[in-house]
A and B are shown apart, each in its own frame.
Chain A
Amino acid sequence: MAKILGIDAAGKGLSLAVAEGDKLLASACLNVGLTHSQRLLPVLAAMLDAAALTIQDIDLIAVTNGPGSFTGLRIGLATAKGLAEGRGIKLLPVSTLEAEAYAVRHMGAYICPVLDARRNEVYTALYTPEGAEVWPPAALAPQALAEKLREFLAQNEPQQVIFVGDAADLYIEEMRQALPGQALIAPPERRLFGAPGCAFLAGERLEEALPPERAAAFYLRLSEAERNRNARLQAEAAK
């Protein structure tokens, strides 16, 4: 059975995991500030070593490819590409939101991952308690998200939603006020670390594995320079 290395460096937390079938062989999680580029490979080396594994034992690299911190995504993806290319194996990108939602599946609540998108927005999506996508990924203001969830939960069972992701603790009070009795938050050990979910989800969709050069980041947002240029071109076209 394939051993899959999962990598999640897209948010505040950094996590790595090795999954084989439905077994989690090893995992490592750090939440010590944004030092992903310094920490990722030393933690990987230590984790594999502790599990009596080497990188040669890994059959597939899975990595969260967004949305998330632009820099974090690139650290994760560039590392994943280097590992895959160095080993001559394939790479499987997994949505950061889906990977983080995986940690709180089957808890009887809709799952709403929220990742810090700055500019007073969160990257978010909505999943059923079993993990199926209800809303596709989007960048939303927390107030807009709360309103959308209020309307949705009024018409759907179960009437609860659980928040996960690096912005969950930031907005949970606001969500509890907007959604009285309906807003739950993932426990800290399941809130920030997408690597196990990333590895397990990859195992369910092996046919989506790509040669490393074809794995791309899913930023969800254009760069600021592109947004400004598009706005200028639109304004000129409107004249």
Chain B
Amino acid sequence: MVKILAIESSCDETAAAVITDGYRLLSNVVATQIPVHQLYGGVVPEIASREHLNAVVPVVRRALDDANVKLSDLDAVAVTKGPGLIGSLLVGVSYAKALAFAAGLPLIAVHHLEGHMNAPFLEHPELEFPYLALVVSGSHSGVALAEKPGYYKLLGQSRDDAAGEAFDKIARALGLPYPGGPAIQQAAREGEPVYDFPSAWLEGTYDFSFSGLKSAVLNFLNQKQMKGEAYRVADVAASAQEAIVRVLAAKAVRAAREYGRDTIVLAGGVAANQALRERVQELAPEMRVIYPSPQFCTDNAAMIGAAALGKFARGEFADLSLNAEANLPLYFYA
């Protein structure tokens, strides 16, 4: 039985997990920094890096304890090498390399988005390549073809804000808490999408743009305020969510049809959005739509472990000069 310790620290969650054959999780620990960053209305990179340094030892130790394994029982240490916040990534990468070196274990480097795209295997080990993946989080929005393990082709991505970032910024403007995605989803349940905010369709591409939507919502709120007109936060939330969801869902489904894929995988924190899940299935009733439970949508180390299992089997190891990379393209990334 292969046992891999995985470490993830690309944004504001310090996470560690132990995974074994068949995508079986032996432990999964996430220390979130959300309460710290809520004071600032979003992730502060320097503070995130500081928190990771304090959390990394206890989080990894707890993952080993929960799995009831010792370092000497492990076969490899896997870590997210990027993309993400460089200071945050460096803590996980430095720690993982040193731990692997001191314990005499091989090191595996994982692309953060490959992790997200492999998250569905944790609950659907029978899932098979190829599939279409819509990866949507606070820092990424992309449509990708998952061809085979380790091979992914990005068809399009956001040209400005990520979908989750748009949720965060709109939530802040509405006086809703960080992170914005869950807050807007919650508020939208009480509202109707009565306002027609713009979606950027960028026809002929699988790219996204959400900065125009953010500006439209801010202008709307300013005008309402200047004119002294009332509006319902729930309706604005529902309308903004609709503008984000319809374009994400439409492009994912269009890409799946164009490339003849019968399975769509939703991944990343925004994949926890109920409206997005329902819309994709509505638009593509003939397709299998798979999304992880919320705990595997947001950043976690289990998904890094899931991607690492394949790399271990293929003998894809990193050496001790591994560096963290803030920007890391996903194009037939192996």
A interface vs B, CB < 8 Å?
A: 35, 37-42, 44-45, 55, 70-71, 74-75, 77-87, 212-213, 216-217, 219, 223-226, 229
Question: Which of A86, A217, A225, A226 meets B98, CB within 8 Å?
Answer: A86
Q: Is the CB of B46 within 8 A of A45?
A: no
Q: Is the CB of B71 within 8 A of A86?
A: yes
Main secondary structure of the interface of A (DSSP, over half): helix
Give the chain A neighbours of B92 by CB distance below 8 A: 78
Instruction: Tell me if B231 counts as interface (CB < 8 A to partner A).
Output: no
Q: Is the CB of B98 within 8 A of A82?
A: yes
Give the chain B neighbours of A40 by CB distance below 8 A: 94
Main secondary structure of the interface of B (DSSP, over half): helix
Q: Is the CB of A81 within 8 A of B90?
A: no
Q: Is the CB of A79 within 8 A of B39?
A: no
Question: Which of B40, B58, B97 meets A82, CB within 8 Å?
Answer: B97
Q: Is the CB of A79 within 8 A of B98?
A: yes
A37 and B99 alpha carbons, distance in the complex (Å): 14
B interface vs A, CB < 8 Å?
A: 39-40, 44, 46-47, 49-50, 52-54, 56-58, 60-61, 71, 86-87, 90-103, 319-324
Question: Which of A75, A86, A217 meets B103, CB within 8 Å?
Answer: A86
Q: Is the CB of B57 within 8 A of A74?
A: no
Give the chain A neighbours of B44 by CB distance below 8 A: 223, 225
Q: A39-B321, A41-B321 are in contact. Are A229 and B39 (CB under 8 A)?
A: yes
A226 and B71 alpha carbons, distance in the complex (Å): 37
Q: Is the CB of B46 within 8 A of A78?
A: no
Give the chain A neighbours of B58 by CB distance below 8 A: 213
A41 and B54 alpha carbons, distance in the complex (Å): 21
Return A195 CB to nearest CB of chain B, in Å: 15
Give the chain A neighbours of B99 by CB distance below 8 A: 82-83, 85-86
Interface hub of B96, B100, B320 (most chain A Cβ within 10 A): B320
Q: Is the CB of A83 within 8 A of B102?
A: yes
Give the chain B neighbours of A225 by CB distance below 8 A: 40, 44, 46-47
